[in-house]
């Protein structure tokens, strides 16, 4: 039953990813992947929040698994980040590729820390 809950949450996360990516891309047209950046950073925030709730406020391990591995796992996308980084580099924009990869990692860590910090309140 837990596997089913994680699978359903992952599916909902994937749909949410698509909707957020499209919304951001529509508002920030161009050739830089702002949609994926927004998805991964916000997903990192959610995962930090879930981790904080589990560690400090008694969120059950099952709920944390469904929200973390399920929803956040289905929502975020490392494979698209990797593909878009390679695409930027192949498009002769190595600086944009490096900034995208490094900036995504740094922004994701900061967002996760912000989520964790918010959960401590």
Confidence check: pLDDT of 77 > 90: yes
Show me where the domains of the chain are located: 2-119
- For 1-60, how does the pLDDT look when each residue is reduced to its tens digit (9 = 90+)? 999 999 999 999 999 999 999 999 999 988 899 999 999 999 999 999 999 999 999 999
Helix axes of 34-56 and 2-27: crossing angle, nearest 10 degrees: 140
User: What is the rounded distance in angstroms from the CA atom of residue 103 to the CA atom of residue 105?
Assistant: 5
Instruction: Say what the pTM is.
Output: 0.94
Residue 4: CB partners within 8 Å, gap ≥ 6?
A: none
User: What is the rounded distance in angstroms from the CA atom of residue 37 to the CA atom of residue 85?
Assistant: 11
């Amino acid at each position: 039953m837990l596997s089913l809950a994680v699978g359903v949450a992952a599916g909902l996360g994937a749909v949410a990813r698509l909707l957020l990516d499209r919304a951001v891309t529509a508002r920030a047209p161009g050739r830089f992947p702002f949609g994926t950046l927004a998805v991964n950073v916000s997903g990192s925030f959610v995962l930090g929040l879930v981790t904080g709730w589990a560690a400090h406020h008694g969120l059950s391990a099952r709920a944390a698994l469904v929200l973390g591995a399920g929803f956040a796992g289905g929502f975020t996308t490392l494979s698209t980040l990797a593909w878009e980084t390679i695409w930027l580099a192949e498009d002769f924009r190595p600086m944009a590729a490096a900034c995208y990869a490094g900036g995504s990692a740094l922004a994701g860590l900061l967002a996760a820390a912000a989520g964790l910090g918010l959960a401590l309140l």
